[in-house]
Amino acid sequence: MLGLNTKDSRLLMIVIGLSLLAPFLLNPFPTGSALAQFNAGYPDLMQRFVIFGIFAIGFNILFGLTGYLSFGHAAFLGVGSYSCVWMFKLLGYNVIPGILLSMIMSAIFAVAIGYVSLRRSGIYFSILTLAFAQMSFAIAYSVLSNPSFNLTNGETGLQVYSNDPQWFHTAGAPDVPHLFGLPMRATETLTLGGWDFQFNVGYYLCAIIMIVAFYMAIRIFRSPFGLMLRAVKSNQQRMNYTGLNTRPYTLAAFVISGMYAGLAGGLLSAMDPLAGAERMQWTASGEVVLMTILGGTGTLIGPVLGAGFIKYFENIFSKINDNILHQWFSILPDGIEDFLVFIVHPFIGKGWHLTLGLLFMAVVIFLPGGLVEGGQRIGAMFRRGPKDPSGAATAEATPAE
């Protein structure tokens, strides 16, 4: 299918199914139940799942294939966000021009940063990309917010005002981001019994773009170009000794990865037309590193799973407070209830980072391949054949090779 082998086609179909059915899959509990707070099927969070999934897919093309660990990818996320908002200010609220400009500007920015940073490898490359990202943050936060040359609006953030040109804004078009007149905020709610399922235009636009981005990542992974990037990761020095110049390949991977990040930044602004310098901070770069490692570095679906995992904790688990804990343990005697709340309190609410850190440590120690390895182990348990009374497996006996 679409030039993919059976395994990759199956993986693509899984991503398509998860994306299109997300409003159902992320709302497992009835709306009025005590467990409804664990539902994640509302538009804003679903959009973040797929947008940061795109961000992580792009980062994995660089880190997973070449082994170059960038700590500066948030710079491209920020450039994409600013570019999209500027298109809203100049042309109008149609999201297509903004998304396209986000990718173009981030690609140009990635060429400039990559050309310098890729002269070094290892930790030196990581430090260079971090330095460029922090410089970008500082420039966006202060230098480019100068009243005489205001491109970023500093700490307030870049947004659309009523006196902006919007040259192609037509009468009757929505005054919010839209796709040829269809507002990104438009949402239809389907009520079935005690469940409310929300279908949002912005989410499905992001989901379709993520599916296309995932398909392109598969093609890159399986292409001769992807094979060359794996060779760079395996032993770049040996390739250089053969006379092969690897820099064009690593620069191309860096630019493609930056375009993915810019696309994610543009989609963030397309869903909410506001761009701030905080998207360029080093914490955003560290977050995508965690997403990729947690899901499974070098795997195709791993970064998407890692992005969803972290964004779920950030938006759902962090909202649990002491009042909710008291409701959970209310059936217990008061002393035990208070004790359990005291024990759990550091791991919820503002302490969700502690829980995420412990889970990340557990994954790194016990599942070096990330969540994908965990899924593979579970699948292997179910694929094992039955055993005879002597304890030997009888399902498949293949000779050693």
Neighbour tally for 282: CB within 10 Å = 16
Q: Residue 380: what pLDDT?
A: 85
Say how far apart CA 310 and CA 330 lie, in whole Å.
Answer: 29
For residue 190, list its beta bridge partners: 197
Are 342 and 351 within 8 A, CB to CB? Answer: no
Closest to 95 in 3D by CA, of 53, 150, 47:
47
Helix (H) or strand (E) holding 363: helix 352-366
User: Going by DSSP bridges, is the β-strand pair 158-159/274-275 parallel, antiparallel, or unpaired?
Assistant: antiparallel
Segments in 298-333 forming alpha helices (H): 302-315, 322-328
Q: Residue 149: what pLDDT?
A: 75
Q: Residue 385: what pLDDT?
A: 56
Task: List Cβ<8 Å contacts ≥24 apart for 13-19.
Answer: 14/301, 15/210, 15/211, 15/214, 15/301, 15/304, 16/211, 19/50, 19/207, 19/208, 19/210, 19/211
Residue 245 structure tokens: 């110049």
Q: Residue 154: what pLDDT?
A: 84
Q: Residue 386: what pLDDT?
A: 54
The sign of the dihedral angle between the CA atoms of 101, 105, 108, 114 is negative
Q: Residue 387: what pLDDT?
A: 54
Report how far apart the first and last C-alpha atoms of the chain are (Å, whole number): 32
Closest to 86 in 3D by CA, of 158, 150, 156:
158
- DSSP-derived secondary structure letter, 398: -
Task: List Cβ<8 Å contacts ≥24 apart for 170-174.
Answer: 170/92, 173/92, 173/93, 173/94, 174/93
Say how far apart CA 207 and CA 204 lie, in whole Å.
Answer: 5
For residue 187, list its beta bridge partners: 200
Closest to 263 in 3D by CA, of 129, 106, 93, 49:
106
Q: Residue 101: what pLDDT?
A: 96
Contacts of 356 (CB under 8 A, 6+ apart): 310, 313
The pLDDT tens digits of the residues spanning 324-347 come to 888 888 888 888 988 998 998 888
Say how far apart CA 202 and CA 174 lie, in whole Å.
Answer: 14
- This prediction's pTM: 0.91
124-140 per-residue burial string, b: 16 or more CB within 10 A, e: under 16: ebbebbbbbbbebbebb
Say how far apart CA 85 and CA 296 lie, in whole Å.
Answer: 33
Are 4 and 12 within 8 A, CB to CB? Answer: yes
Are 345 and 351 within 8 A, CB to CB? Answer: yes
Q: Residue 216: what pLDDT?
A: 96
Q: How far is CA 269 from CA 65, 266, 322, 325, in A?
A: 29, 5, 34, 35
Q: Residue 229: what pLDDT?
A: 93
Q: How far is CA 207 from CA 110, 136, 401, in A?
A: 25, 29, 43
Q: How far is CA 253 from CA 107, 192, 273, 342, in A?
A: 11, 46, 29, 48
**Residue 380 φ then ψ, to 5°:** -65, -35
> Tens of pLDDT along the chain (401 residues)?
678 889 999 999 999 999 999 999 999 999 888 788 888 989 999 999 999 999 999 999 999 999 999 999 999 999 999 999 999 999 999 999 999 999 999 999 999 999 999 999 889 999 999 999 999 999 998 888 777 778 888 888 899 988 888 898 877 778 899 998 899 999 999 998 889 999 999 999 999 999 999 999 999 999 999 999 999 998 888 888 888 888 999 999 999 999 999 999 999 999 999 998 888 988 889 999 999 999 999 899 999 999 999 999 888 888 888 888 888 888 888 889 889 989 988 888 888 888 888 888 888 888 888 888 888 888 888 877 555 555 444 444 333 33
Q: Residue 76: what pLDDT?
A: 96
Say how far apart CA 143 and CA 115 lie, in whole Å.
Answer: 24
